[in-house]
Amino acid sequence: MAQEYFDFTNDLIFRWVMEREENCLAILRAILPELKITAVKRRENEHPVNYLAFDDERGVRFDAIIEDDQERFYDVEMQVANQPGLGKRVRYYRAQIDQETLKKGEDYDDLRESYVIFFCAFDPCGQDRRLYQFHYYEDGDRQLRLPTNSHVILINALGTKGQITPALAAVLDVMNRRRDNANPLAVSLVKEIDGYNRDKKRRRALMNLKMRLKDEWRLGLSEGLDQERAEGKAEGRDETMLSLIHTLQMQGQTQKQIVETLALMQKSSLAAAQCYYEQLTEAANEGAH
């Protein structure tokens, strides 16, 4: 049985890739060639999240802000599931950049230029564009823009419209598991991700994350309910979701499409929805025998 392959959209894989400053620089230059960025460095947040340990002593630090050679700041995120509230998530990250980078004693006039960038494995705006960029505009006059010195960029891995750089197109090919792009950035990223999949220690972390997500589904995401109520809620939810899966299968939907639907309904990542799908279908197959 072939080992599961964890790709660029996996939370840990994406973080490991972005931990390397040369990757950050190449990806930002691919998105924003007009800025002519020549160097970047990672600034760890004051409150890093120790989300998943390789072992008992070492953890993975998430949520680093990137700073370029012109003192511009960037937060680059991977968004796999098309969950409600994307705009509020963007707003949160933009506020986080300002909070983490404004030095003690500085005034709001000292706020640096910032970019919140989301790589989306779905079309966040439904316009089939490969890149969406947002600013504050006056409602009655779209030519009038409020100079907040902040930018929001949503990148659609499924898009076909609009001009982007060959390097960014290569990154999107990596997101979509297309391995035939000869662009140097694509070749480098694929090689690096393959290496993470082969590394025993990192693979253990990847499997631990998968099992953690699976356990969350099993616990029913009780959200403060007592155990008995949570188990009853989870059982009823499982029956409903299994019925939905069977209906979608009868309609001819693929497993990928069904998992995407589960992720949207449960407000979860695709990885968590995939685990849940496998759990439900395996249990149903066992019960049928």
Task: Say how far apart CA 158 and CA 8 lie, in whole Å.
Answer: 15
pLDDT tier for residue 57 given thresholds of 50, 70 and 90: very low
For the stretch 168-207, pLDDT in tens is 999 999 999 999 999 999 999 999 999 999 999 999 988 8
pLDDT score of 283? 74
- Three-state SS at 268: coil
In the numeric block, the tokens 């966040």 are attached to: 124
C-alpha 26/C-alpha 14 separation (Å) is: 14
Rounded Cα distance between 218 and 196, Å, is 28
Task: For the chain, give the percent of residues with pLDDT over 70.
Answer: 81
Q: How far is it, in rounded angstroms, from Cα 276 to Cα 167? A: 35
Comparing C-alpha atoms, which of 170, 82, 177, 167 is closest to residue 126? 82
Q: What is the pLDDT of residues 206-237, one digit of tens each?
A: 888 888 776 666 665 444 444 444 445 556 67
The residues pairing with 138 across neighbouring beta strands, listed in sequence order, are 141
Q: What is the pLDDT, as a whole number, of residue 171?
A: 97
